[in-house]
Chains A and B, each alone.
Chain A
Amino acid sequence: MNKSKIKIATTSLAGCFGCHMSFLDMDERLAGLLEQVEFDRSPFTDIKHCGRCDIGLIEGGVCNAENVHVLREFRTHCKILVAMGACAINGGVPAMRNYFDLQDCLEEVYLRGTNVTHPRIPDDPELPLLLDKVYPVSEIVPVDYFLPGCPPSADAFLQLLQPLLIGQKPDIASIRLHYD
């Protein structure tokens, strides 16, 4: 195995996995990419914790305590951290809950919701507590690059990764931007 492979870690926080699906939309180009990179912690691998990595790709905003822990682990271990997709950049559609009271949201779903048979808000300590609001990634840790889109296109992922793989700065703004 080539020792000089670039290490990439990815995660989905308060994401929908759509950014990861869009990443996979690179299709056969993924085969070429895998000759240059290997994946560390990622939903694509079975690795439980992030080791030293060159690039971390973060999908999703930050909505609960576990998201904060995972995000900080990524920031500590990744040289370059990328907020990918609308959720990571500004909270995205999940951040629309920020216009409502958190307790009201929980009660609406677990106590007052239709077809609720055992009304009770889950309180097992195993479950991460929700934060008061959904936060953009950059309000928790410093971010090196932003890749907009909901989700970013496969071409946008290539525009980001190709320069990074050869140690150059990506010029994402030069591609056809979209936030939707």
Chain B
Amino acid sequence: MTTNDTIRIDDVEIPFTPGQTIMEAALAAGQYIPHLCHYPGLPPSGNCRLCVVETGNRSVAACTTPAMAGQQICSDTPELNEARKAITQMLFVEGNHICPSCEKTGNCKLQAIAYHLGMLDEHFPQFYQRREIDASHPDILLDRSRCILCDLCVRASRDVDQKNVFAIAGRGTDAHLIANSSSGKLADTSMAVTDLAARICPVGAILIKEQGYQVPIGQRIYDRQTIRETGLQEQIAKPPQE
């Protein structure tokens, strides 16, 4: 396998191994590309679109586009960051993202991305969609009104936990997270608080019960670090059977 293949992102030469996506090569080389639905170790999904980059006069998702030798890529440009901000604003108005009343505040990737992009307001009219809360599980709360449909929990439950607890159902703005049990309730799935799917949610949609507001303001994840820093550190825990 050749290891001297390289791509260029914003004038930085980045090595890659064939088969890697632009995102995987960039993160491995310490080059941050904003993302919400990408997580190292899980198959890419390509649904948040925050990792949009430009290559060869096209806009592509860095998380699903294979790296190719000699590729010239623009990522950290004012235009792309404005587009990313608009996408983030869309995610905010579509759900209930009232940070002052959310226990994920300070530890939330959606919020941290918005800080990173300098989002001051939500620009678009609010949807105020009411979506069902599932509090049936003894240890885990599902608040769909905060779900951004990144489907990280779907992939984590299927590929790492080997439980297939979640799926996305419905079309268009009706798309929503469902629990794969005959009752549709989380309590009737095999989900456990130790599952990766219980902890990978980037926002306040899947919460561990009775754990809120335990970290003082100033010591929460994004009080101490930027999402750029945490995004470069993330590594998935290896599945137990490997």
Please list the residues of chain A having a beta carbon within 8 angstroms of any beta carbon in chain B: 83, 86, 89-93, 95-96, 98-99, 133, 136, 138-139, 143, 145-148, 150, 172-174, 177-180
Contact = CB atoms under 8 A, between A and B. Distances in A.
Nearest to B125: A139
Contacts of B111: 179-180
Nearest to A151: B100
A93 B120 contact: no
B123 to A, nearest CB: 8
A180 B121 contact: no
Contacts of A93: 98, 100-101
Given A133-B128, A136-B126, A172-B120, 16 more contacts: A90-B97, A90-B121, A91-B126, A93-B100, A95-B126, A98-B126, A99-B130, A99-B145, A143-B121, A146-B121, A148-B121, A173-B120, A174-B118, A179-B100, A179-B105, A180-B102
Contacts of B139: none
A92 B128 CA distance: 12
A95 B120 contact: no
**Most B Cβ at <10 Å: residue of A90, A96, A139, A174:** A90
Interface of B: 92-93, 96-102, 105-106, 111, 114-115, 118-122, 125-126, 128, 130, 145
B96 A90 contact: no
Given A99-B145, A133-B128, A148-B120, A90 B100 contact: no
A51 B96 CA distance: 37
B122 A92 contact: no
**Most B Cβ at <10 Å: residue of A93, A96, A145, A177:** A177
Contacts of A146: 120-121
A99 B129 CA distance: 7
Contacts of B97: 90
A176 to B, nearest CB: 8
11 contacts: A86-B99, A89-B121, A90-B97, A95-B98, A95-B128, A99-B128, A139-B125, A147-B120, A178-B115, A179-B114, A180-B106
A127 to B, nearest CB: 24
Contacts of A179: 99-100, 105, 111, 114
Contacts of B101: 93, 96
A115 to B, nearest CB: 26
Nearest to A86: B100
B122 A89 contact: yes
Contact of A96 (B96, B114, B119, B125): B96
Contacts of B102: 180
Closest 4 A-B residue pairs measured CB to CB? A173-B118, A150-B100, A146-B121, A179-B99
A139 B115 CA distance: 23
B100 A177 contact: no
A98 B118 CA distance: 27
B92 A90 contact: yes
Nearest to B111: A179
Nearest to B112: A177
Contacts of A150: 99-100
A17 B126 CA distance: 23
Contacts of A91: 98, 126
Contacts of B145: 99
Contacts of B118: 173-174, 177
Contacts of B99: 86, 150, 179-180
Given A96-B98, A150-B100, A179-B111, A138 B121 contact: yes
Nearest to A97: B128
A96 to B, nearest CB: 6
A59 B21 CA distance: 46
B85 to A, nearest CB: 10
A12 B101 CA distance: 20
